[in-house]
Each structure stands twice: as structure tokens, then as C-alpha cells.
Structure 1
Amino acid sequence: MTMRSITENSLAGGQVGPTPLVYLLNDDPYGRDNLVQLLRQCGVPVMGFENIFSLEKAFETNAAEILLMDVTFIEKHQLRTFLQLGHSRKVGTIIVSASPQVEEFLDQFAIPKNTDGVLPIVVKDRATLLFELGHAVGSYSEMKVVKPVVSWALEEGGWVLSDGNGNRLKLTALEQSFLTHLFDSRGEIVERGKLIEAMGEDIYDFSYTYLDTLVSRLRRRARRENMYLPLHTVRGVGFTFSG
């Protein structure tokens, strides 16, 4: 099942029209704002929500054509409600997650096909999401298709971060150590203490607040280079790099 089937079922007879409205569910403020900005740059009308309850409330007054979930931790109850909303309202549902739990939950829920025969779509990263969205609505006049990110890499001995799309960022020593450890455990959640040790610092003397400051500064510098880091904060635990 492709994204095109979702958008064509959402528009009358698959006729050329406005780009479908997307509701994004993401409990991480940075990740949510990051993806909202990226999709809007592509011409996709999108609204971001912190939890499923606020999304449901908005849906009652202004229904979206596509529901998108992009979260680090897949909470079973929230995922079930998300899928049931999409199924009952017959709209497309997309889940961005590399977690194997997603497929397990989908099997457990046994969400049936809706009347249009559309099933939830699971993609493992934002690069694939951009590709699918671009392919799905690229024929609509209001959509500006952008080249999706190919792959993230640390180059020049780990001192330069590349997004695979021509954008590069020179790293400081602490940023290089921080990202190298996250890249070694890509897609996994790395505890703050492990990251501090990887940076050559003492976990008892190093300020966790400074670690948050380092991440915020890294995100800002990357954004100035038109790079949207798939770097997520897992509150109370650590960080994960999902790209």
C-alpha cells in the first residue's frame, strides 16, 4: 500500500486539489517543531500536537486527511487510540518509528481495513516519510517536492556531520564525542551517564544541565545549516539519534 492510495481516498475521486491536511502527534517539543517546520517548507499543511487527547479534540472541529505519529517511545494505549481514530474516520495513518514493538502492537490490535481498504503505514525514519509524502502528493499543485535526506554520516574523522543532502556541519570536540557515541548506538536510547563518559567527563562532576545546553546549541547550529537532526530527548533517560 502506498501513500498515494491514502491521499487519493482522502480527496474526492482522486481529483487534483489542495494538499491534504496532516495532524502530527509527537510528545517531544523539539522533534515536533522540527518536523512541522520541515513539512511546511514542503508545502504540506500540518498541525502538531503533544498528546492524543489534544489531537482528538482538534479533529472534532477540523478533521485532517492524514494522521502522523512520530514518537520515540510507543505507548500502547496512545497507539491504539491513534489507530482507532484513523480507522473510525477513514483517514490515512502513518507511524514513524524504528521500534520493533510497533509491528507487534499492530498485530495485537488487529485493526481491520476500513471501507477504502487502507491499512496503517509504518516507516522507520523521516527520510522515508519525506519520500513517501513527496511521492503521494507531488502531483498536487500546492506541494513542493524536496529531495529527501539520503543518510546521516560523520565524516573527516568524525569532525563533520553530513545529512547526505549536501549540508555539512563542523563539530566541536564535545559534539563529536557525543554524536559518535549516539551513532554507534543509532536508533537506541543512550543514557545520559553513558554519553558523559563517552565525552571523557566524570559523571559525578559533569553538569547534566550543560549536556542539555550542548544538545540545544547543536540543534540550533544544525538548523542554521538547513539540517534537521533526528536527535530526540527521552525525558529522564537520555537521547537517541534515529536517522
Structure 2
Amino acid sequence: MTAGQDDEHGKAPLTAGKELQGLRVWVVEDDPELLALGVEDLRWRGAEVLGLASAEALYRALAVGQCDIVVLDVGLPGEDGYAVAQHLRRSADIGIVMLTGRGSTHEMAHGLSLGADVYLVKPLDGDLLAAALASLRRRLRPAAPTVPVAHLAAPPASGQWQLQADGWNLGAPNGAVLALTSAERGFVRALLATPGQPVEREALIAAVTDQPWDFDPHRLEVLVHRLRARVRNGMGMTLPVRALRGAGYLWMREAA
């Protein structure tokens, strides 16, 4: 039974299920009808949902925002779901649920090997998807270790940008602290190791993935755009990173 349908006694549910309350889910599906139905059902269950029709639309959204879990159709136009899952696993710490009509053991093993956390076969029951999302939320690793609240109230002693909690938190001169994903951690650590000096794209890619030979350079741009937005929105500051045409990126030194 989907949201809004009558039950077997002819009565509609009185209240929406809220088992996914607060969970940010992005659904990538090229079939408009299936996308609309999926988005509606997940919203009814309390999730914050964004519907996207292609891998390109997903990458654009990731450049300016973030989610907790991506529900990804395998049969997308252009870049298929397998390739997308592989890119996401290397560039972002988010949950990945793959949906497909191809339910063979080989297909499922292939999707899981490329980075999917859950592999579900269509036609899909809404209750099953909701249960999978709720289970995945419980299993997702926290973005980063937290630091005591007392440490967040005052600016760093140096008054400079710095990494904290073994590099999992970025501290700003104004005292704000941002939890980093593993890819962001590698990127920032590489730049802060030589502030004021350019770091080549190849070196940065090697810092954010353990398979740099198979990493799409466009993912690095997505990571930088997303990190800029997170720093601006979450810390109230501008990330002091400059892109250098043909030479990578550099971390700009603070004024003396």
C-alpha cells in the first residue's frame, strides 16, 4: 500500500509514517512516473527528498549540497548507475542504495563491489525500501569524531585554519568547527601540508582516493565546490582555497 491508499478495511491511514524523519535522501531515476511516486512515498515517511533524473543532475546537486543516502537506478541514460556508484564511493561519504530490474546474483555482486551498500530489485515495495534506508542510516559511520562543546566556543589559539581530531574536523579562525568526510580530509590535509604553495591535481586526487588511476578528475571539482558551500553555510567563512589553472589548488596563507 502506498501513501494515501485505503487499507483493506477501506480506511486511509490516519498519519504518515515517520520512520525516515530527518533523513536526506536523493532519488536518481530517469522514469518520471517512478521518480514522482518514489519521492512522494519517501516524503510521506518523513524523509527530506530530492528527485533527480540523471547522473549529471546528481553531480550538479552534489556541487552545492549534500545528502545522507542516494537511491540510484542502474539503468540511467548516459552514465549508468554502476559508474555513478563507483564515483560516489570514491568522492563522498554517503549511503548508496541501488535499484534495478536485473536481479541476478552476478549483477548484485557487481553493484556491491562498486560501492553500493544495499542492492534492491524492482518492482520495489515502499515498505522494503523504507526499511533498507532506516537500516542503512543506523549503519552509516558518523561523518567525523566530535569534539567537546567547550572546545567549539573559542577560536583556535593560533587564530588560523587548522585540522583537529586527527584531521576529521576543520577548525576556522572564528572558532567554528566542521566535520569532514574522508575525501575532504585528504584534500585539506594535502593543501595544509604546504600552505601558500600549489598542489597538483594528481597529488590531490591521490590524497582523496586509494585508486587515483581510475578517478574522474571532475569528481575533484565537485568535492571542492561542495566543501566551499559547506564552509560558507556551516562556518560563516570563505574557504581559503584558490584554484590555479593548469596547476591544481593552493591553500592561501593568512594575512600576517
State the TM-score, normalizing by the size of structure 2: 0.38
Bigger-Rg structure (1/2):
2
Higher relative contact order (CA 8 A, sep 6+): 1
State the TM-score, normalizing by the size of structure 1: 0.40
